[in-house]
């Protein structure tokens, strides 16, 4: 292996290599997915009740409702929008506060219009009614007849859906670029028979594989970090996070090189991606649905990438808490690396030519 030759190959690949759809997808799709998850899924899959308010006056009740912890409140500027939002399920319930709401409240004769989404859950309706009562009581200055003490039990914390989807976005970012780029690049070379041209140069198969692997690792790292940046999820140990991402990127590139070595056309590569995606992204579903037993994750190699990433970025734990997963990940990277090296040894230029 010659570092100078590898660097030349990397430069050639970067400046003159194919700028095809795989590259565009590797860059665009993870960014779009991360943006989508953060913008849209931040509050979608929660069981939190949603109340729509159209305040025809300027009642302080609206502000009190907005500050309620038990539900999400969306304000509307006209009744038609509120009604449409309720009918479409954007909110569970919509209330129209009359202009004289505050005056009538003082006179103890509160009246308003309520739209209820037919598919809203019973608990959402209950929670909204309770929160509404609570806000009204706060306005009229009711004195609470009890002392309530809230006490947490256990040491687990709940995760919003945007955080549960983080493993999927990170895996997509790291594995699509890291795996597909080296694989597609090798397949392109085989299909266009440019590997044969390289075989008459001093570059070895090992140099070629290393150059393509490095590009995959760098792209996977950049996309992984970018995804975490979009999700603002760097936690308290950013260096440890980058280390885990780097290991994940290496694993992705190794799998990509293996795929590139054995697969002879892009069609089969994408078929491999469709099937392999189930195995690669399996752990993401375990994070999405805590009801799935956690032990199932242990059988997926990508679990050891995503578990430390999630723990470091979302839960904010230190490196010590994820060291065991990182150690297993290093072991996996080494084993797959040995397999790649073994394949490189076995692959002569002639063998590649035959595959192409």
Pick out residues in 263-282 that bind another protein (CB under 8 A). 265-268, 270-272, 274-275, 278
The residue from 11, 113, 345, 353 that contacts another protein (CB under 8 A) is 113
Spatial distance between the Cα atoms of 318 and 281, rounded to a whole number of angstroms: 25
Asked whether position 226 contacts another protein by CB under 8 A, the answer is no
The residues, any chain, with a CB within 8 Å of residue 117's CB and separated by 6 or more, are 86, 87, 89, 91, 92, 93
Q: Nearer to another protein by C-beta: 110 or 328? A: 110
Instruction: Find, among 160, 269, 256, 176, the residue nearest to 220 by Cα.
Output: 176
Q: Assign 51 to helix, strand or coil.
A: strand
Asked whether position 58 contacts another protein by CB under 8 A, the answer is no
- Tell me the per-residue interface mask from 60 to 79 with another protein, x by CB under 8 A, - otherwise: --------xxxx--------
Q: Nearer to another protein by C-beta: 127 or 261? A: 127
Q: Nearer to another protein by C-beta: 83 or 319? A: 83
Q: How many amino acids of this chain bind another protein (CB under 8 A)?
A: 81
Q: Assign 71 to helix, strand or coil.
A: strand
Q: Nearer to another protein by C-beta: 143 or 200? A: 143
Spatial distance between the Cα atoms of 207 and 219, rounded to a whole number of angstroms: 18
Asked whether position 123 contacts another protein by CB under 8 A, the answer is yes
Q: Nearer to another protein by C-beta: 111 or 200? A: 111
Which stretch in 8-16, 149-157, 250-258, 325-333 sits in contact with another protein by CB under 8 A?
149-157
339-344 contact pairs (CB < 8 A, 24+): 339/254, 339/258, 340/209, 340/213, 340/254, 340/257, 340/258, 343/257, 343/258, 343/261, 344/205, 344/206, 344/209, 344/261
Return phi, psi of residue 50, to 5°: -125, 125
Distance between terminal CA atoms of the chain?
Answer: 24
Asked whether position 232 contacts another protein by CB under 8 A, the answer is no
- Applying the rule CB under 8 A, the residues between 286 and 325 that interact with another protein are 289, 292
Q: Nearer to another protein by C-beta: 70 or 78? A: 70
Asked whether position 262 contacts another protein by CB under 8 A, the answer is no
Spatial distance between the Cα atoms of 98 and 59, rounded to a whole number of angstroms: 9
The residue from 2, 25, 321, 337 that contacts another protein (CB under 8 A) is 25
Asked whether position 45 contacts another protein by CB under 8 A, the answer is yes
């Amino acid at each position: 292996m010659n570092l100078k030759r590898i660097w030349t190959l990397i430069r050639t690949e970067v400046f003159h290599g194919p700028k095809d759809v795989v590259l565009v997808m590797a860059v665009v799709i993870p960014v779009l997915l991360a943006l989508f998850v953060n913008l849209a899924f931040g509050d979608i899959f929660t069981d939190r009740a949603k109340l729509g308010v159209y305040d025809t006056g300027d009642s302080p009740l609206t502000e009190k409702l907005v500050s309620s912890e038990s539900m999400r409140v969306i304000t509307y500027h006209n009744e038609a929008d509120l009604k449409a939002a309720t009918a479409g399920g954007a909110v569970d319930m919509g209330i129209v506060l009359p202009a004289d709401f505050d005056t009538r409240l003082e006179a103890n004769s509160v009246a308003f219009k309520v739209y209820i989404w037919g598919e809203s859950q019973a608990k959402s309706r209950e929670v909204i009614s309770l929160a509404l009562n609570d806000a009204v009581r706060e306005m009229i200055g009711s004195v609470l007849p009890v002392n309530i003490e809230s006490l947490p039990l256990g040491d687990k914390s709940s995760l919003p859906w945007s955080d549960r989807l983080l493993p999927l976005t990170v895996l997509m970012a790291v594995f699509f670029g890291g795996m597909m780029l080296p694989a597609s690049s090798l397949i392109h070379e085989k299909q266009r028979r440019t590997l044969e041209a390289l075989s008459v140069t001093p570059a070895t198969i090992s140099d070629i594989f290393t150059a393509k692997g490095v590009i995959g690792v760098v792209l996977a790292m950049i996309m992984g970090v970018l995804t975490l940046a979009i999700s603002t999820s760097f936690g308290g140990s950013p260096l440890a996070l980058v280390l885990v991402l780097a290991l994940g990127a290496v694993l992705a590139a190794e799998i990509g090189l293996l795929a590139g070595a054995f697969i002879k056309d892009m069609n089969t590569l994408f078929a491999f991606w469709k099937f392999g995606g189930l195995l690669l992204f399996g752990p993401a579903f375990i994070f999405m649905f805590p009801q799935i037993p956690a032990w199932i994750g242990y059988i997926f190699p990508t679990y050891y990438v995503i578990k430390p990433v999630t723990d470091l970025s979302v839960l904010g734990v230190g490196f010590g808490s994820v060291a065991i997963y990182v150690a297993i990940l290093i072991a996996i990277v080494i084993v797959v690396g040995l397999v790649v090296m073994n394949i490189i040894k076995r692959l002569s230029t002639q063998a590649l030519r035959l595959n192409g």
